[in-house]
Amino acid sequence: MVLRIGIVVGEISGDNLAVPLIKAFKEHYSDVRVEGILGPGLLKEGGFSLYPQDRLAVMGLVEPLKRLPELFRIRRNLVRHFTQNPPDIFIGIDSPDFNLGLEKKLKQQGIPTVHYVSPSVWAWRQGRITGIKQSVDLMLTLFPFEAQFYEQYQVPVCFTGHPLADQIPFSIDTARARTALGITDNCRILTLMPGSRNNELKYLAEMFILTAKHCYQSQPNLHCVIPVVSVEHRDRLQSLWALKAPEVPVQFSVGNAHTAIAAADAVLVTSGTATLEVMLHKKPMVVAYRMHPLTYHIAKHLVKIPYIALPNLLANEVLVPEYIQSKADPESLSKALLAYLDPQYNMQPLIQRYNELHLSLRQNASVKAFQAIHPLLK
């Protein structure tokens, strides 16, 4: 039997979620055909992408406005394509501003729709819940507090857990990671994760580098590691590093983020899924975020949650320090990081809480997602 699945992923993180889900389908169906807007992982699985995945990779409140005409055109074309060639199921992964509108149109055409990764409706613009109910036959959430929110509004929902919690082991071999990176000296390792989107690099890259420079002045045995998603990403950061902190030892690791995290004594990271990855690797972190001033001005009046870092949201308490907008400066960030980089720092209480959260998210997510989706298939 041929199973046709429509999928739209807007970012690499969504592609990473989609790949194990498609593999779960392939364990039950001999011929699974995937098409839509796909990332590199889905393409390796044999999927067909109607548009390059990076055309949807926009962020913020202000920046996407410049791309609206193109995004609307892509969505109209996808509605036409999937209406003329109906898949057995359509799965929109993240990118809610794009996918929910697409899902609503497809659901009206009788195509079963699933949205994987809840939008932050529990945090802001809660009025969107009405539109979500009209758009999806099933919402799949990565975190338990999200499913509890949808249950209040009678939206069909399944908490799947997070695939990263299944993939990343409880015990991390730091020495092995350092060997893999070729780091053998007795040094303190600071891993920097300023993001990969253009806007993230615009607002965060220089600040992260200057923070590392401050730390190096107090920790002369400091060695920095920066995981990057591509050679172009590396070249951009490498040029900025040479300009701002040429004296600080640094190593760039292409496509090897988990090893870079596992090798660290501390991590400076931007908000997002990366904070979850750091938590699952049981590493102390400092979270920093900056954005366009107008975007921030709008967001601070709309967002109804006390934290931005996923570990803090999951724990409902401050497990890791957060520095946002004007509070995110090299002096403040380096002070917080140096506390973690002190060899005398006791990490055990933090690791214990990390382990508890890790266990709560380890649900065999992709299999659980497949089992929830399967009854919707035509």
- For the chain, which residues make up each domain, given as ranges? 2-161+363-376, 174-361
Rounded CA-CA distance 26/28 in Å is 5
Q: Reduced to 3 states, what is the DSSP secondary structure of residue 116?
A: strand
In angstroms, rounded to a whole number, what is the distance separating the alpha carbons of residues 299 and 282?
30
Residue type, 146: E
pLDDT at 125: 60
Q: What is the pLDDT along the chain (378 residues), one digit of tens a residue?
A: 789 999 999 888 889 899 999 999 999 999 999 999 999 999 999 999 999 887 776 655 555 666 788 889 999 999 999 999 999 999 999 888 899 999 999 999 999 999 999 987 655 566 678 889 999 999 999 999 899 889 999 999 999 999 899 999 999 999 999 999 999 778 999 999 998 877 788 889 999 999 999 999 999 999 999 999 889 999 999 999 999 999 999 999 998 899 999 999 999 999 888 999 999 999 999 999 887 667 655 566 556 667 878 999 999 899 999 998 889 899 999 999 999 999 999 999 999 999 999 999 999 999 999 999 999 996
pTM of the model: 0.82
| Residue 98 φ then ψ, to 5° | -90, -50
Token pair belonging to 248: 């600080």
* Buried b or exposed e, range 318-351, using 16+ CB within 10 angstroms: ebbbbbbbeebbbebbbebbbebbeeeeeeeebb
Q: Are 112 and 5 in contact (CB under 8 A)?
A: no
The CATH code for residues 2-161+363-376 is: 3.40.50.2000
Domains 2-161+363-376 and 174-361 fall in the same CATH topology = yes
Positive/negative CA dihedral, 217, 219, 220, 225? negative
Q: How many CA atoms lie within 13 A of 318 on its CB side?
A: 6
| CATH number among 3.30.1240.10, 3.40.50.300, 3.40.50.2000, 3.40.50.720, domain 174-361 | 3.40.50.2000
User: What distances in angstroms separate CA 261 from CA 15, 150, 191, 220, 321, one per listed residue?
Assistant: 20, 33, 6, 21, 18
Q: How far apart are CA 50 and CA 74, in angstroms?
A: 9
CB atoms within 10 A of CB 276: 25
Instruction: Report yes or no: 365 and 140 within 8 Å, Cβ to Cβ.
Output: no
Q: How far apart are the first and last CA of the chain?
A: 12
Handedness of CA 223, 224, 227, 228 (dihedral sign): negative
